[in-house]
Structure 1
Amino acid sequence: MMNNLYAIVDIETTGSHANANGITEIAIYIHDGHQIVEEYETLINPRQDIPIFVQSLTGITNEMVLKAPYFEEVAPRIFELLDGKIFVAHNVNFDYSFVNHYLKREGFNLNNKKLCTVRLARKILPGLPSYSLGKLSRSLNIKIENRHRAAGDALATTILFKMMIDADEHQYIDEALNAKAKEEALPPYISRLQLDGIPRQPGVYYFKDKKDKIIYVGKAKNLYKRILSHFLNNNTHKNKQDFLREIRKISHQVCGTELQALILENIEIKRLWPEKNRAAKHPEKRYALYTYEDQNGFIRLNIGKKNKFIKSVCLFKSIAEAQSLTRQWVQRFNLCNKLCNLQTTEIDCIGLQNETCFGACNGKEDFNTYNLRVNKLLEELVLELPSYMVIDQGRNKFERSCIVINKGVFYGMGYINGQDLPADLEIAKTVVTPYPSYLFIEKIVSDYVLTNPSKMFSLN
């Protein structure tokens, strides 16, 4: 470790992400593990106004950077200092993302190993009340000259780093420099140990903030690889950088298959409404066919919005689909447009004119005869709706996953032991966990059994 050269860097910027903000100041201390061997500091003209609150925090004003060099003027010198060194910073991904972004624009390819002094301090100097640079420095009696200026913060980070080199009895720095670990790509509060505890199986993962609130839900074919991919892609956009800074904890649920993971992700997003999920959060509008008996004994059909507390005959994707199919059923079974709520005007039923209605609405047909045809339609609709299971691999070799579709509607999913399948629908319902059903889930299950018919087992 002592043969390495470290470039200890701090920057001041106009904002939190490199894609739309500029660097206003940079300081670099080259350290050989014993002492500083070279140093560099300069203001930089960011070609944009510095927000007032940033000016108040750093003391760097628009007037101060007016005659400062542009980044392209100092880029060759900055690259010369950083090239081949280990890039060290307090919350290294922030500084590296800015410096790398602007060097790339000038044609320089920065490819440094990185060390994060926040992450290292948590391991080498555990038990301190805070690991922000200011509070950490106070705990360790490191005096910071010019706080929130690049040179002052970089020098404090240099002193902190030397203290950690001297205190690193468990070789955490060498461990972090292992190229395979990729630890510095992780957010400051996510440890490699926590990531290594995530299985390489399908499932759903949850990112939580400092208040333990779930801010993002995702699904994966391989939980470990998918979670790691969030951190290895060092996107400079504001949303990505803000997102990474908020992640403090990761939890997960293992599923037997990617299909189960996709279903659970959709359910969990609608249940938890995480701040960072957008696509699957839109409320789903579904329509249903309901029946009721009126005061005259006639069974009436009615189309309405899906209500989980009211039993429905069947579901529709849209009101247009519901009305179109109901009109077809009315004609086919000689039902009354008025009794099926397709006609709400006071004039005679339009079915009387074309003789598709036999007069249930004007007393020419009694309710017993009419209801026979309604019940025949309802029986046919129930028979047309398939009930089946999807049986696939489980979370381990001793179980199999089970998804239950009840009359065309997703009922739930779970796991069964051994090779014996549930004998009928009612038994199948007892071996799975019930979940809400959504159009998206029913479609992906339906599409899946079309391409994997051997995994579908009828329960009709």
Structure 2
Amino acid sequence: MSTLLPCYVLLDLETTGATPTQDCITEIGLIRYENGVEIGRWNTLINPEVNISPFIQRLTGITQDMVNHAPTFAQVCETLLQWLDQAVLCAHNVRFDYGFLKNEFKRIGITFQKKLLCTVKLSRKLYPEHHSHSLDAIIDRFQLVCNQRHRAMDDTEMMAAFINVAIRELGESTVQETARTLLKQQAIPTGLDHLDVHTIPETCGVYLFHGNSALLYVGKSVSLRYRVFNHFQGDHRSAKEMRIAQEIKRVEYRITSGELGALLLESRLIKAYQPIHNRQLRRERQLCAWQVSSDPKAKPLLTLINDSDIDWRATENVYGTFKTKRQALEVLNKLADEYGLCDKALGLEKGSGVCFAHQLKHCKGLCAGLESAESHWLRLLTALSQYKLLAWPYAGRIGIREHNPDYDITEIHVFDQWCHLGSVKDHQELDELSARPCFDRDTYRYLLKFLNRKQVEVITLHGY
């Protein structure tokens, strides 16, 4: 009698697709072991309550007719939980199956958590001389006999056969020790060398997830190691997290002097390299803003200006910024409806007479002579107040000093007119700093946040 772990369940799922937040389980097959003895096995089709695509039907052999009268996941969940009770969940690319189970349980209001063991990783550790560790490769390598690939119980039996061969060839103690080691590293995706992650320090910085040939994702944290591990412990609550876990091959990190340095570096890297899974902080085309006339009777009251035309030392009556002209107009139209503003006075409608919004009783009547220009102008400023751009409150350049005591890194982040000019470590680098101000909306937000903190050290840079 030989054993892998004191108590474990080998499991395989068939599904309607590859995305656990959108697709559903169509079949479950599992075998439970305790102290090296097979306690029992369970196999059931599942009604996914959605259509199975022709491609998936051909791949798995599971047709729509086969599942139409099968139990739903909600109907078998208690039975499944009994089979998995107190056991380590083992599967080939286990985070795929675990992600589906987590999401299926979540849909019926149950939080599901298990210890995991991936047989892909087990094969990699036990047989590092082989390039491929897919189930098909393992079947071919050990000349295993599989009656029907991509059916849950048949694939589960192939995992059991692989474990038995490995124990026979390499010895029970070797396989057990490898399994115990992997249990300690269970949060790491299959394609990623665990050394890449376990050498990441607990300090402030930026991390980069690389695939085979592309940058997948860039993030930042005041605790790099914790944040990176947290990515892999999310159990694929989103399709993005699952794709990252499937595609990641290498982790790179860069230590920074502090939180602001990490924010600035993350933003710069995302805009420069456009990682596949980053949606925020993307590179922006020229931004624009609304400038309100100081004359309440001006027609139109607002002018759309580019961010390059903004005088950041005098931003009175400037509101924004907006990524596109379309966004700026959408915001203005929305505010006009909410505050009863006149479309013609704003320049949103041309022609003479009362505006169309007044006919719909959305405009309070400036165009019909029912209110004064001054009253309308003040209401416009109130409506736009949430978008008010603040004037640069300094006479010239400033620096914000940050120090990372863990690595004795000190930097001064240099700003002018809300623009980040660069980060320097000494006076020589400061003397050589010659970047032109280039407004970035994310940098503006970061700087507003940090200037309001009492512990931030601001240095006035006279003569630069």
TM over 0.5: yes
Q: 1:54 to 1:390 in 2, by over 3 A?
A: same
| Equivalent of residue 28 in structure 1, options 24, 27, 30 | 30
Residue 349 (structure 1) aligns with = none
Residue 239 (structure 2) aligns with = 238
Q: 1:456 to 1:72 in 2, by over 3 A?
A: closer
- Check conservation: 2:207, 2:254, Cα contact below 8 A: yes
CA offsets, 1:214-235, max 9 Å, x none?
Answer: 1111111110111111111214
Question: How far apart are the structure 1 equivalents of 2:392 and 2:403?
Answer: 30
1:273 equivalent to 2:274? Answer yes
| Equivalent of residue 99 in structure 1, options 98, 101, 105 | 101
Displacement, 1:49? 1.1
Question: How far apart are the structure 2 equivalents of 1:389 and 1:413?
Answer: 9
Residue 400 (structure 1) aligns with = 410
Residue 335 (structure 1) aligns with = none
Q: 1:404 to 1:237 in 2, by over 3 A?
A: closer
| 1:69-218 → structure 2 map (5 Å cutoff) | 69-103=71-105, 110-166=112-168, 167=170, 169=174, 171-177=177-183, 181=184, 183-211=185-213, 213-218=214-219
1:261 equivalent to 2:262? Answer yes
Question: How far apart are the structure 2 equivalents of 1:444 and 1:52?
Answer: 49
SS in 1 for 2:180: helix
Residue 357 (structure 1) aligns with = none
Displacement, 1:427? 5.7
Question: How far apart are the structure 2 equivalents of 1:162 and 1:317?
Answer: 76
- Check conservation: 1:404, 1:429, Cα contact below 8 A: no
Question: How far apart are the structure 2 equivalents of 1:428 and 1:322?
Answer: 32
1:415 equivalent to 2:420? Answer no
Q: What is the aligned-residue identity percentage?
A: 26
Q: 1:318 to 1:38 in 2, by over 3 A?
A: farther
Question: How far apart are the structure 1 equivalents of 2:280 and 2:113?
Answer: 34
SS in 1 for 2:253: strand
Displacement, 1:430? 3.1
Which amino acid in structure 2 is aligned with residue 66 of structure 1?
N
Question: How far apart are the structure 2 equivalents of 1:14 and 1:60?
Answer: 10
Question: How far apart are the structure 2 equivalents of 1:43 and 1:14?
Answer: 12
SS in 2 for 1:389: strand
Q: 1:318 to 1:113 in 2, by over 3 A?
A: same
Which amino acid in structure 2 is aligned with residue 265 of structure 1?
E
1:321 equivalent to 2:326? Answer no
Displacement, 1:5? 2.4
1:56 equivalent to 2:58? Answer yes
Question: How far apart are the structure 2 equivalents of 1:151 and 1:143?
Answer: 13
| 1:287-326 → structure 2 map (5 Å cutoff) | 305=306, 314=311, 321=318
Question: How far apart are the structure 2 equivalents of 1:283 and 1:105?
Answer: 37
- Check conservation: 2:191, 2:247, Cα contact below 8 A: no
Larger Rg belongs to:
1
Question: With structure 2 as the length reference, what TM-score do the two structures score?
Answer: 0.71
Displacement, 1:172? 1.5
- Check conservation: 2:450, 2:456, Cα contact below 8 A: no
Unaligned runs of 5+ in 2: 290-303, 321-390
- Check conservation: 1:386, 1:406, Cα contact below 8 A: yes
Which amino acid in structure 2 is aligned with residue 226 of structure 1?
R
CA offsets, 1:176-198, max 9 Å, x none?
Answer: 33xxx3x2232111243221111
Which amino acid in structure 1 is aligned with residue 267 of structure 2?
N
Q: 1:317 to 1:112 in 2, by over 3 A?
A: farther
Residue 399 (structure 2) aligns with = 389
Displacement, 1:390? 1.5
| 1:349-368 → structure 2 map (5 Å cutoff) | none
Q: 1:433 to 1:384 in 2, by over 3 A?
A: closer
Question: How far apart are the structure 2 equivalents of 1:158 and 1:45?
Answer: 26
| 1:367-378 → structure 2 map (5 Å cutoff) | none
Which amino acid in structure 2 is aligned with residue 36 of structure 1?
E
Displacement, 1:60? 0.8
Question: How far apart are the structure 1 equivalents of 2:314 and 2:142?
Answer: 63
Unaligned runs of 5+ in 1: 289-302, 324-380, 417-421
Q: 1:3 to 1:198 in 2, by over 3 A?
A: closer
Question: How far apart are the structure 1 equivalents of 2:234 and 2:393?
Answer: 50
Residue 372 (structure 1) aligns with = none
Displacement, 1:431? 7.5
Question: How far apart are the structure 2 equivalents of 1:9 and 1:389?
Answer: 57
Question: How far apart are the structure 2 equivalents of 1:248 and 1:58?
Answer: 28
Q: 1:225 to 1:125 in 2, by over 3 A?
A: same
Q: Which deviates further from its counterpart, 64-73 or 190-199? A: 64-73
Aligned residues: 372
Question: How far apart are the structure 1 equivalents of 2:447 and 2:16?
Answer: 49
Which amino acid in structure 1 is aligned with residue 7 of structure 2?
L
Residue 70 (structure 2) aligns with = 68
Question: How far apart are the structure 1 equivalents of 2:73 and 2:319?
Answer: 62
- Check conservation: 1:394, 1:415, Cα contact below 8 A: no
Which amino acid in structure 2 is aligned with residue 188 of structure 1?
T
SS in 1 for 2:423: strand
Question: How far apart are the structure 2 equivalents of 1:37 and 1:87?
Answer: 15
Question: How far apart are the structure 2 equivalents of 1:56 and 1:444?
Answer: 52
